[in-house]
Amino acid sequence: MKQVRGLSRRSVRRRTGRVLVEGPQGVREAVRFVPERIRDLYVTREAAQRYADFVGPARDRGVFVHEASEEVLAAMCDADTPQGTAAVVDWTPTTLAAVLAREPRLLVLLTHVRDPGNLGTVIRGADAAGADAVLVSEGSVDVTGPKTVRSTAGSIFHLPVVTGLDVAATLTALDDAGVRRLAADGVGERTIDEVDLTTAHAWVMGNEAWGLEPDTRQACDDVVRVPIHGHAESLNLAMATTICLYTSARSQRVP
């Protein structure tokens, strides 16, 4: 139990290469998408009935399923209410090269994202929009942290997430791979509705508070803004990113 609880610390996650997934939505998606990476699945007796849809399949796939009391589960977890289940999952990082080798059409690069909830929500939004991967720069919040993993609602197991990237090198690699780099920034002259989004591209997003670094913005192929029609100063990062990605998805998918 102590070992599991330790996964709320980044140093322990790094050393062990494991992450803790809390709650039924995340555990279910781990069972569906990466059962071979699940080390241990914990579930209360009561919840085992409620979550038969994935506890049964998990056992069938050879996952170690342990019965745990509510108290033990709560002590393991970061969430106030893990809702009766949690799992320890191997974190297998992927690389930018692997992502680019699959000729992606739609990507997002988050630079210096600091809020775990924002990062998780962006991963969920990118998944929903059908993006090929989420790229996260160095100096960002840890994608394997409990709050980020929870906020993805299982999407962290649905699409590749590359972390620790150098921004300048990533922009160069994207260019070399024929992926247009679109800086999302309020200073953009054109809006997301006024640029061609049909070809392969990556949305490049800035930090929640200070936005994009000028060097990053200038290295991109275009600077594009989400239009603000009312009096709001801006949208939050997760909303702006999801709107950009959905606008792209529409452009790329409409026949």
Chain positions contacting its own copies, by CB under 8 A: 25, 29, 33, 121, 124-131, 153-155, 158-159, 193, 226-236, 238-239, 242-243, 246, 249-250, 253-254
d(CA 25, CA 152): 9
Distance from C-alpha of 125 to C-alpha of 135, rounded to nearest angstrom: 13
Q: How far is the CB of 134 from its own copies (least distance, A)?
A: 11
| Rg of the chain on CA atoms, in Å | 19
User: CB of residue 114 vs its own copies: minimum separation in angstroms?
Assistant: 14
- Closer to its own copies by CB, 18 or 124: give it: 124
Those residues whose C-beta lies under 8 Å from the C-beta of residue 223, and which sit 6 or more positions away, are 182, 183, 185, 187, 188, 189, 217
Q: How far is the CB of 203 from its own copies (least distance, A)?
A: 15
Smallest distance from its own copies to CB 225, Å: 11
**CA distance linking residue 78 with residue 116, whole number of Å:** 13
Nearest to its own copies of 84, 167 (CB atom): 84
Q: For residues 130 and 139, which CB has a smaller minimum distance to its own copies in the complex?
A: 130
Q: Give 170 or 242: the residue with its C-beta nearer to its own copies.
A: 242
Which stretch of DSSP H or E encloses residue 121? helix 116-128
Coil, strand or helix at 184: strand
- The distance of closest approach from Cβ of residue 155 to its own copies in the complex, given in angstroms and rounded to an integer, is 5
State which residue, 161 or 219, has the beta carbon closest to its own copies: 161
Q: Which two tokens stand for residue 157?
A: 């197991």
* Coil/strand/helix, residue 166: coil
